[in-house]
């Protein structure tokens, strides 16, 4: 595979998620305009932040007249999960130049992360430059749609009736991301532990329940893998 082919492979592999990104980013445009932001403000937020959930949080708190400091911390907490994505990408694309890594960091969204890491693990023969090209391919599709449809939502405005239940596109997106990752017993165990813990810790303020649940899931998955490896070793010996 050449880097060019890898780029287009990533582009196509991420294509299904435009089904989610289009309505979700339009919804942000509409909600931001409803909250009283102008088009420049709405677009600036989408371009500077590119992280839907935290943008919705920020706009909602601004509307409630929350102090800037509080709104900032609450919105950042929503994005804390990306530190985990950042760590998980190190073994695959950590070799890239600092500038390239900075650009990869700016473009790091859930869908691109999930699709890229899944492909890296399925195809261990991918060379480091191929992995980088693939990553940018994933984002080259999502990112313009994110900007463009935020603008569309902001301009068209108020045209999405609540009966479309677009709120549900978000969990559906994450379900679609999870299903192909359940490739072994430890993966299923990690997902079960994380999902259950997210419900148990939903009361924790600052969206930190999510972080606790994710860490528990990661621990559970890793421990299960170690346990199975040790058992296989014992029965083999």
Partner 1 sequence: MIDATTFWTLTVLLGIGTFLIRFSFLGLLGGRTLPDRVLLYLRYVGVAVFPALFMPLVVWPEATGGTPDPIRLIAALAAFLAGLRFGVVWAIIAGMGTLYLMQFLLS
Q: What would the two tokens of residue 91 be?
A: 């073994």
- Shortest distance (Å) from residue 137 CB to partner 1: 16
User: Which stretch, 4-12, 143-151, 152-160, 218-226, contacts partner 1 (CB under 8 A)?
Assistant: 218-226
Q: Calculate the alpha carbon distances from 66 to 44, 58, 74 in Å.
A: 20, 10, 10
140-179 binders of partner 1 (CB under 8 A): 162-163, 165, 167-179
- The correct pick among 1, 22, 62, 228 for binding partner 1 (CB under 8 A) is 62
- The correct pick among 71, 130, 142, 143 for binding partner 1 (CB under 8 A) is 71
How far is 21 from 145, CA to CA, in rounded Å?
A: 7
Count residues binding partner 1 (CB under 8 A). Answer: 97
The contact mask relative to partner 1 for 6-45 (x = CB under 8 A, - = no) is ----------xx-xx--------------xxx---x--xx
Residue 126 found at the interface with partner 1 (CB under 8 A): no
- Shortest distance (Å) from residue 80 CB to partner 1: 6
Sign of CA dihedral 179, 180, 185, 186: negative
How far is 24 from 52, CA to CA, in rounded Å?
A: 8
Q: What would the two tokens of residue 211 be?
A: 């972080």
Residue 86 found at the interface with partner 1 (CB under 8 A): yes
User: Which stretch, 2-10, 46-54, 140-148, 153-161, contacts partner 1 (CB under 8 A)?
Assistant: 46-54
CB atoms near residue 86 (< 10 Å): 15
Residue 232 found at the interface with partner 1 (CB under 8 A): no
Please tell me what DSSP assigns to residue 17.
Answer: G
- Please list, in sequence order, all residues whose beta carbon lies within 8 angstroms of the beta carbon of residue 153, skipping any fewer than 6 positions away: 25, 26, 27, 28, 29, 30, 33, 160
Task: Find, among 13, 22, 214, the residue nearest to 117 by Cα.
Answer: 13
Q: Number of H helices and number of E strands within the chain?
A: 12, 0
Residue 181 found at the interface with partner 1 (CB under 8 A): yes
- Shortest distance (Å) from residue 30 CB to partner 1: 15
Output 98 or 237, the one with its CB closest to partner 1: 98
Would you give the distance in Å from CA 37 to the centre of its chain? 25
Residue 60 found at the interface with partner 1 (CB under 8 A): no
- The correct pick among 12, 90, 156, 204 for binding partner 1 (CB under 8 A) is 90
User: Which stretch, 1-9, 82-90, 141-149, 150-158, contacts partner 1 (CB under 8 A)?
Assistant: 82-90
Please tell me what DSSP assigns to residue 158.
Answer: S
Question: Are the beta carbons of 194 and 229 closer than 8 angstroms?
Answer: no
């Amino acid at each position: 595979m050449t880097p060019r082919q890898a780029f287009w492979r990533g582009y196509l592999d991420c294509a299904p998620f435009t089904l989610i990104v289009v309505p979700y980013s339009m919804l942000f445009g509409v909600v931001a305009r409803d909250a009283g932001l102008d088009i420049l403000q709405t677009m600036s937020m989408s371009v500077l932040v590119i992280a839907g959930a935290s943008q919705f949080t920020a706009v909602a708190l601004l509307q409630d007249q929350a102090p800037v400091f509080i709104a900032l911390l609450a919105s950042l907490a929503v994005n804390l999960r990306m530190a985990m994505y950042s760590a998980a990408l190190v073994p695959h694309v950590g070799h890239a130049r600092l500038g390239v890594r900075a650009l990869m960091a700016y473009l790091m969204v859930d869908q691109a992360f999930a699709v890229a890491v899944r492909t890296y693990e399925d195809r261990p023969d991918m060379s480091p430059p191929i992995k980088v090209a693939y990553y940018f391919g994933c984002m080259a599709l999502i990112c313009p749609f994110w900007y463009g449809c935020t603008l569309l939502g902001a301009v068209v405005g108020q045209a999405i009736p609540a009966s479309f239940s677009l709120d549900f596109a978000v969990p559906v997106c994450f379900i679609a991301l999870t299903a192909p990752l359940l490739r072994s017993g430890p993966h299923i165990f990690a997902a079960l532990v994380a999902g259950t813990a997210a419900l148990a810790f939903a009361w924790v303020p600052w969206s930190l329940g999510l972080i606790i649940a994710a860490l528990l899931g990661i621990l559970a998955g890793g421990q299960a893998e170690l346990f199975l490896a040790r058992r296989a070793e014992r029965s083999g010996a």
